[in-house]
């Protein structure tokens, strides 16, 4: 019997998705399949892989793909202690949908107490230095602790999100954290992210419906105006070049390149 199939490559998955009621347009199904393949290959190549789940829209796509297809990848989220209530509600919705617990990781209590003692409870508004110090204690240190023992970490950044992120590569050596960094959604558009979320009926942060395309800590995130940059609501009082928390390294070396 011939192995030749009447259907083009990928069509079987598309048909199966239709039958299961979670329809993805063929192009998006192919993109999602590429993400699944990239993550599965990362597990094969690097062994212990962890996903730092930002709980943003892109994170919903990656959470769905990882928990549905590549469960060998561990997932954690950083609870800075200053998140929006809507973000905690989202954590509960995700846990109900996938019947799994998201591992929340927290700042070191002693370092946090010292930070607040030094700069005050909202000191991050007063200078870039104070803001970075807060992000360091509430995010960067926590991240470094959470990724210890892993060989690679996954992130949901997209090129469209900012000038800095436009320079990213799908697989990079993250010298800052001494491990590989995998960005499977780099070339996804915002529209594709939302198409995926809607087709798969995945929960998402309801702040996205109120003009918050990018969501971080409550005091440091605001809604954006039409036409503004996607990340304009993050640390909105600062210059665009400084609007990162320190988790995304500035100097990059793509794997396989000099
Ligand atoms: S986003 Fe704001 S509150 Fe959150 S860690 Fe950074 S400076 Fe602190």
Distances (CA, A) of 226 to 162, 192, 221: 16, 19, 16
200 lines ligand 1 (CB under 6 A): no
Q: 148 CB contacts (<8 Å, ≥6 apart)? A: none
165 lines ligand 1 (CB under 6 A): no
pLDDT of residue 11: 45
pLDDT of residue 248: 66
pLDDT of residue 231: 83
Segments in 21-127 forming alpha helices (H): 26-46, 57-69, 85-98, 109-119
Q: 68 CB contacts (<8 Å, ≥6 apart)? A: none
In 3-state terms, what secondary structure has residue 78? strand
* Tally of CB atoms within 10 A around 47: 11
84 lines ligand 1 (CB under 6 A): no
136 lines ligand 1 (CB under 6 A): no
**Model-level pTM?**
0.85
DSSP 202-253: ----GGGGGT-SS--BGGGB-PPPTTS-TTTTBTTTS-GGG---SSS-SS-E
Minimum-distance ligand 1 atom for the alpha carbon of 131: 7
Distances (CA, A) of 196 to 99, 112, 179, 189: 20, 37, 29, 11
- Mean pLDDT by runs of 10 across the 258 residues of the chain is 42 44 83 98 98 97 98 98 98 97 97 98 96 97 97 95 83 95 96 96 97 95 91 87 68 38
> Where exactly are the structural domains of the chain?
21-241
Q: Are 197 and 204 in contact (CB under 8 A)?
A: yes
Taking CA atoms only, the protein residue closest to ligand 1 atom 3 is 217
List 134, 217, 220, 245, catalytic entry: 245
- 129, 134, 233: which to mutate for ligand 1, most atoms within 8 A of CB? 134
Q: How far apart are CA 244 and CA 214, in angstroms?
A: 12
pLDDT of residue 164: 76
The tokens 């992210």 sit on which residue? 193
pLDDT of residue 222: 96
What's the token pair of residue 159?
Answer: 């090129």
Q: How far apart are CA 142 and CA 22, in angstroms?
A: 36
Active site residue 134: no
Domain spanning 21-241: CATH superfamily: HUPs (3.40.50.620)
83 lines ligand 1 (CB under 6 A): no
pLDDT of residue 119: 97
Distance from the alpha carbon of residue 232 to the mean position of ligand 1, in angstroms: 15
pLDDT of residue 169: 92
Q: How far apart are CA 142 and CA 144, in angstroms?
A: 5
Q: How far apart are CA 186 and CA 156, in angstroms?
A: 7
């Amino acid at each position: 019997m011939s192995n030749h199939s009447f259907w083009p490559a990928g069509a079987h998955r598309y048909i199966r998705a239709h039958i299961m009621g979670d329809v993805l347009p063929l192009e998006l199904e192919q993109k999602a399949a590429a993400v699944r393949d990239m993550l599965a290959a990362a597990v094969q190549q690097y062994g212990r892989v962890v996903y730092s789940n930002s709980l943003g829209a892109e994170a919903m796509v990656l959470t769905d793909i990882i928990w549905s297809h590549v469960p060998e990848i561990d997932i954690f989220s950083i609870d800075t202690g200053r998140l929006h209530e809507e973000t905690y509600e989202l954590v509960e919705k995700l846990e109900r949908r996938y019947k799994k617990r998201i591992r929340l990781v927290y700042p070191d209590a002693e370092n946090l107490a010292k930070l607040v003692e030094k700069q005050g409870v909202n000191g991050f508004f007063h200078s870039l230095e104070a803001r970075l110090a807060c992000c360091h204690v509430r995010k960067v240190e926590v991240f470094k602790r959470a990724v210890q023992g892993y060989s690679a970490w996954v992130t949901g950044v997209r090129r469209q999100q900012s000038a800095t992120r436009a320079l990213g590569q799908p697989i990079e050596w993250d010298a800052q954290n001494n491990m590989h960094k995998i960005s499977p959604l780099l070339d996804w558009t915002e529209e594709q992210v939302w198409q995926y979320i809607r087709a798969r009926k995945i929960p998402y942060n309801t702040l996205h419906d109120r003009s918050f395309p990018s969501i971080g800590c409550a005091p440091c995130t605001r809604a954006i105006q039409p036409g503004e940059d996607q990340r304009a609501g993050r640390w909105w009082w600062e210059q665009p070049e400084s609007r990162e928390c320190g988790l995304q390294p500035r100097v990059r070396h793509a794997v396989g390149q000099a």
